[in-house]
A and B are shown apart, each in its own frame.
Chain A
Amino acid sequence: QSALTQPPSASGSPGQSVTISCTGTSSDVGDSNYVSWYQQHPGKAPKLMIYEVTKRPSGVPDRFSGSKSGNTASLTVSGLQSEDEADYYCSSYAGSNNLVFGGGTKLTVL
């Protein structure tokens, strides 16, 4: 069982927006700005999409945005495109030199 809870699946049609949640506790997500999101296509390594809750690395489209409220972080993908279909993982610093991941969400573009 993963430390952070994500929905197993999410979906949306091209052009639509979809939001993926990542729920932790007051010891990790709720107490940390070190929340990040990764995109993983089948058979590939993860790719950093969001770091420090809301920041995008250079080269990541601004269709991807992150936010946090309380113990729940969220990734929103706007203007869905077919290439956005992938697994998405959140992660958070959890104190005591530990870092935890969510179980992953499979995003399907209908």
Chain B
Amino acid sequence: QVQLQESGPGLVKPSETLSLTCSVSGGSIGTYSWSWIRQPPGKGLEWIGYISNSATTKYNPSLKSRVTMSVDTSKNRFSLKLTSVTAADTAVYYCARGFCSGGSCYSRFWDYWGQGALVTVSS
């Protein structure tokens, strides 16, 4: 069974960099695309971006200038960096796997998700 687990600091100071890692178990990271999605407390979902199995990245245009995603296939994990954070970046951050079905793989639908990591931006 595929499992995803987010890890990283739960508290980040304003103007600093938020860094999260998603460790994947039960499957190879090299076959799928991998995304980050966030959810501010009590609010809706926001797509942050994805990294494909060929390490191509696509980011939400509203966050593009601050986001970097990378993948470490040797450790079966991928990462998110978000720079210059503010209180508006406080959210539960989910990592998720792109959905594959019937020989087609998608980067914009996700079937396996991590449990989510709450990151609070505060001094």
Number of B interface residues in the complex (CB < 8 A): 22
Q: Cβ of B44: which chain A residues have Cβ within 8 Å of it?
A: 2, 89, 101-104
Q: Cβ of B59: which chain A residues have Cβ within 8 Å of it?
A: 97
Partner of A97, one of B58, B110, B113: B58
Closest chain B residue to A103, Cβ basis: B44
Question: Which residues of A line the B interface, CB within 8 A?
Answer: 2, 34, 36, 38, 45-48, 51-52, 55, 57-58, 89, 91, 93, 96-104
Q: Is the CB of A36 within 8 A of B94?
A: no
A38 and B96 CA atoms in complex are apart in Å by: 13
Chain A min CB distance to B63 (Å)? 10
Q: Cβ of A98: which chain B residues have Cβ within 8 Å of it?
A: 47, 60-61
A34 and B110 CA atoms in complex are apart in Å by: 12
Q: Is the CB of B114 within 8 A of A45?
A: yes
Is B115 on the interface with A (CB-CB < 8 A)?
Answer: yes
Q: What would 10 A/B residue contacts be, using CB atoms closer than 8 Å?
A: A34-B108, A48-B109, A48-B110, A57-B101, A93-B108, A97-B61, A98-B60, A99-B108, A102-B44, A104-B44
A38 and B37 CA atoms in complex are apart in Å by: 13
Q: Cβ of A58: which chain B residues have Cβ within 8 Å of it?
A: 101
What 0/1 pattern do residues 38 to 72 of B give for CB contact below 8 A with A? Answer: 00000011110000000000111100000000000
A57 and B44 CA atoms in complex are apart in Å by: 22
Partner of B111, one of A48, A89, A97, A100: A48
